[in-house]
Chains A and B, each alone.
Chain A
Amino acid sequence: MSATAPSPVRPTLSELFRAFVIVSISGFGGALPWARRKIVEEKNWMTAEEFNEAFALSQFLPGPNVVNFSVVFGSRFGGAPGAAVALAGLMGPPLIIVTVLAMLYARFGDLEVLGRILAGITAAATGLLIAVVAKMASPLFRKRWDWAPLIAIAAFIGVAIMQWPLPLVFAVLAPVSVAFAWVKR
Chain B
Amino acid sequence: MNENPLIALAGYFALLSLFAVGGANAAIPEMHRIAVDVMHWMSDRQFADSFAISQVSPGPNIIIVTLIGYHVAGLAGAAVATAAMCGPTCVLAFFVARTWDRFKEARWRIAIQAGLVPVSLGLIAASAFVLARSADHNIYAAGITAITAAVGFATRINPLWIFAVGGLLGLSGWL
Using a CB–CB distance below 8 Å, which chain A residues touch chain B? 2, 24-31, 53-54, 56-68, 71-72, 75-76, 80, 83, 87, 90-91, 93-95, 97-99, 101-103, 105-106, 109, 113, 115-137, 140, 147-149, 151-156, 158-160, 163, 165-167, 169-170, 173-174, 177-182, 185
Contact partners of A71 in chain B: CB under 8 A: 90, 93-94, 97
Distance from A88 Cβ to chain B, minimum over Cβ atoms (Å): 11
CA distance A128 to B161 in the complex (A): 12
Q: In terms of DSSP, what is the predominant structure of the interface of chain A?
A: helix
A179 & B115 in contact (Cβ 8 Å cutoff):
yes
Interface residues on B, range: 35 or more
Given the known interface contacts A101-B67, A118-B49, A182-B111, the answer about A127 and B148 at a Cβ–Cβ threshold of 8 Å is yes
CA distance A105 to B127 in the complex (A): 23
B 103-143 to A, binary, CB cutoff 8 A, 1 in contact else 0: 01001101111111111111111111111101111000110
Using a CB–CB distance below 8 Å, which chain B residues touch chain A? 15-25, 27, 29-30, 33, 37, 45-46, 48-63, 66-67, 70-71, 75, 78, 82, 85-86, 88-90, 92-94, 96-98, 100-101, 104, 107-108, 110-132, 134-137, 141-142, 144-153, 158-160, 162-163, 165-171, 173, 175
* 25 sample A-B contacts, Cβ–Cβ < 8 Å, listed by A number: A24-B60, A28-B58, A31-B60, A53-B104, A61-B92, A63-B17, A63-B18, A65-B23, A71-B94, A91-B59, A94-B66, A95-B78, A98-B63, A99-B66, A123-B135, A127-B147, A127-B149, A130-B132, A132-B25, A133-B125, A136-B124, A160-B29, A163-B37, A166-B27, A182-B108
